[in-house]
Amino acid sequence: MLRPDLLHPGVVHAKVSLAEASGNFNFSLRKAFGANVYLLGYSCPNMTPDPPARPRRFQLGLVLVVLAVALMPMRAVPDEPAWQVYFSPNHGATKAVVDALDAAKATVLVQAYSFTSAPIAKALVEAHDRGVDVQVILDRKETAAKYSSADFLAHAGIVTLIDGQHAIAHNKVMVIDGVAIITGSFNFTTAAERQNAENLLVIHDRALAARYTENWRAHAAHSIRYAGR
Predicted confidence (pLDDT) per residue in 76-114, tens digit: 444 555 999 999 999 999 999 999 999 999 999 999 998
Asked if 197 and 191 touch (Cβ cutoff 8 Å), the reply is no
For residues 135 and 62, membership in a common domain is answered with no
State whether the Cα torsion 124-94-87-180 is positive or negative. Answer: positive
Same domain, 208 and 143: yes
In a domain, 5, yes or no: no
My answer on whether 62 and 103 are in the same domain is no
d(CA 145, CA 136): 18
Whether 39 is covered by a domain: the verdict is: yes
- Cα–Cα distance for residue pair 200/192, rounded to 1 Å: 10
pLDDT for position 220: 98
Strand pairing category for 16-17 and 21-23: antiparallel
- pLDDT surpasses 80 at 41: no
202 in any annotated domain:
yes
Tell me the CATH number at 124. 3.30.870.10
pLDDT of residue 127: 98
Domain match, 90 and 180 both: yes
In a shared domain, residues 87 and 146? yes
How many structural domains compose the chain? 2
Confirm if 51 and 9 have CB atoms less than 8 A apart.
Answer: no
Considering the domain architecture, whether residues 99 and 62 belong to the same structural domain is answered as: no
Domain boundary among 7, 40, 70: 70
195 lies in the same domain as 166: yes
Same domain, 87 and 65: no
Q: Which residues are catalytic?
A: 170, 172, 177
Domain residues for 107?
A: 83-225
In a domain, 6, yes or no: no
- Is the residue at 77 inside a domain? no
pLDDT category at 58 given cuts 50, 70, 90 is low
DSSP lists the bridge partners of residue 162 as: 138, 224
Same-domain check for residues 59 and 142: no
* Domain's final residue, options 70, 92, 112: 70
Q: What is the pLDDT of residue 163?
A: 96
On whether residue 163 sits in a domain, the answer given is: yes
Q: Angle of helix 118-129 relative to helix 93-102, nearest 10 degrees?
A: 10
- One domain for residues 117 and 28: no
Confirm whether 76 is domain-assigned.
no
Residues 55 and 165 in one domain: no
Segment 165-183, tens digit of pLDDT: 999 999 999 999 999 999 9
Q: Is 108 in the same domain as 59? A: no
What residues contact residue 206 under an 8 Å CB cut-off, 6+ apart? 178, 179
